[in-house]
Amino acid sequence: MKIIRINMTDQSIHYEDVPSEYQMLGGRGLTSTIISKEIVPTCDPLGPENKLIIAPGYLSGTVLVNSSRLSIGAKSPLTGGIKESNVGGTVASDLAHLGITAIVIEGKPANTDYYLLKIDGAGNAELLDGKAFKGKRTYELVETLKGKFPQTNSITCIGPAGDQMLTAASIQTTDADGRPCRAAGRGGLGAVMGSKGVKAVVVAKGGKLADPLTDPNAFKTAAQNYAKAIRDDDGTEVLAEIGSAMLVAPINAVGALPTCNARKGQFDEVEKITGETMAEVIKRRGGKNAHKGCAQCIIRCSNEYVDEVGTYITSSLEYETIWSMGAMIGNSDLDAIAKMDFLCDDIGLDTISTGVAIAVAMDSGYKSFGDAQAAIEMIEEVAKGSAIGKLIGSGPGVVGGYFKNDRVPVVKNQSIAAYDPRALQGMAVTYSTTPMGGDHTAGWVVADNIEAWGGTLDPFSAEGQVENSRKSQINMAAVDTVGICDFAQSGFSAGIDNVCNMVAAKSGKPFREEDWTALGLRILKAEREFNRNAGFTNKDDRLPTMFYAEPLPPHNKVVIISDEEMDQTFDF
């Protein structure tokens, strides 16, 4: 186990054993712990004091299925607080197989130099001249790097948005096909990577240096039990055929699909962009549903979307993007949505923040809702670095400020996701209180608010919502630490024991359900302390006025959870 530290100020590289305080951590737990201990909370996110941490989950590199999630952390230039952005693909597995617990990129070049960071098959790092690659889009960059480094690699990189240090910039990673279509999108961490002068991290595949397991047999048994629970879950087959886009129709049906900058909760033309429609289009055109997943994936929720003559457009077209580039901007053209998804991956932009930024611009009268071509052109402008491009690439908060429009659905300056909190009150709590900004994955409580999915909470009532969001946020902090895919939480159907047994079998130390909860609490406490020291107060744990003042059709409800109730979320 080792941490590689890259100091961009003097381009020095140091290797260190994992300190005791960072052991038994990976993923979000490690990124947030390093941030809280090593970064000055009031620092400039794009300055030399900030650090970019890249960490595979604690269980990445093992035989456990769906365990190859990568956490990327830093102080966010978008929110001004702590941030972990989570991404799939193959990079996490490859880093773990090289025995790399984390890469910490710190400092800042004194000039305009740009670099590639190459990690070879022995886990050794090298900085290479990357000035020629600055400004390149990610697909061209990856193809060029494949020629430069003929051995098989995974690649993590930024596009023009990150090069320009725009605060909606993503960090892209390659999938099983070697395409940079997986995004660590939230929080503008691509801008931090750009500020460090790092264009790409190239990681050798095929490493044989993964951390040893203390009890391989116990680990294997628990991993097999966990995999069986995933395979036996009813939702696994649906995810394989439709992917996360399976959510479009049911979320619209319950009136929680933010439409036309969250002026409505249902999209009149939703049938044109549902997951079922998408799957049918892909099949008819010769694309691929249930395509290759991330490393070691058995769900295979990815797809490969093609045009009418079978030419590749994008992979993987997911629910949040279908919403942000579809209903949120009033667009029902699925091909245009796929094109915008590709452009965001290629330019290095968070699809959620970008779609919501376009929606705010349309809501402000800059363009009309439903104008897909105008939306495509706005995304292209980001790569050009034009005035409107810089606005869109800086996220919806900046767009709203420019147009003097206060209908901006952000929390801590980060856009909410595809679940309107007026129709799902539990999401109001998560969006408001997570240290990460308006982040749905930090505590996804949607199913608990939908009776047809077994939910027991009234989606229009405050009762039980705070407690449920708290529980979910604690759990997700631990899930993101071990590096398990969110969709693979179906493996928890028989309880948490299998995961706890795997952690214990790797570490050689007892790990039980109470330790799982303690892990989640430890991470959240560190994150909240960082934000407080950065200047955040309870007033930052609030939704915009629009959600309290504007009833959402068709149910005509507003958020009713009080400030006092919000403030009880983290009464640990």
Kindly state the average pLDDT of the residues 64-90.
Answer: 96
Q: Are 114 and 197 in contact (CB under 8 A)?
A: yes
pLDDT at 330: 98
Triad 177, 334, 361: Cα angle to 5°: 105
Question: pLDDT tens digits for 223-253?
Answer: 999 999 999 988 888 888 899 999 999 999 9
Q: How far apart are CA 470 and CA 411, in angstroms?
A: 17
Question: pLDDT tens digits for 415-432?
Answer: 999 999 999 999 999 999
Q: Would you say how long the chain is, in residues?
A: 572
Kindly state the average pLDDT of the residues 274-287.
Answer: 97
Question: pLDDT tens digits for 185-203?
Answer: 999 999 999 999 999 999 9
Question: pLDDT tens digits for 358-376?
Answer: 999 999 999 999 999 999 9
Q: Are 5 and 16 in contact (CB under 8 A)?
A: yes
What global pTM score does this model have? 0.97
Kindly state the average pLDDT of the residues 486-501.
Answer: 90
Q: Are 142 and 43 in contact (CB under 8 A)?
A: no
Q: Is 442 helix (H, G, I), strand (E, B) or coil?
A: coil
Q: Are 516 and 541 in contact (CB under 8 A)?
A: no
Residue 494 clears pLDDT 80, i.e. is over it: no
Question: pLDDT tens digits for 155-193?
Answer: 999 999 999 999 999 999 999 999 999 999 999 999 999
Q: What percent of the chain has pLDDT over 90?
A: 92
- pLDDT tier for residue 298 given thresholds of 50, 70 and 90: confident
- pLDDT tier for residue 111 given thresholds of 50, 70 and 90: confident
Sort strands 410-411 and 414-415 into parallel, antiparallel or unpaired. antiparallel
**Dihedral, CA atoms, 251, 338, 414, 478, nearest 10 degrees?**
70
Count of beta carbons in the 10 Å neighbourhood of residue 568: 13
Average pLDDT, the chain: 96
pLDDT at 460: 98
pLDDT at 559: 98
Q: How far apart are CA 17 and CA 4, in angstroms?
A: 9
Q: Is 380 helix (H, G, I), strand (E, B) or coil?
A: helix
CATH fold of the domain at 2-204: Aldehyde Ferredoxin Oxidoreductase;  A, domain 1 (3.60.9)
Domain residue limits, the chain: 2-204
Residue 46 clears pLDDT 90, i.e. is over it: yes
pLDDT at 105: 98
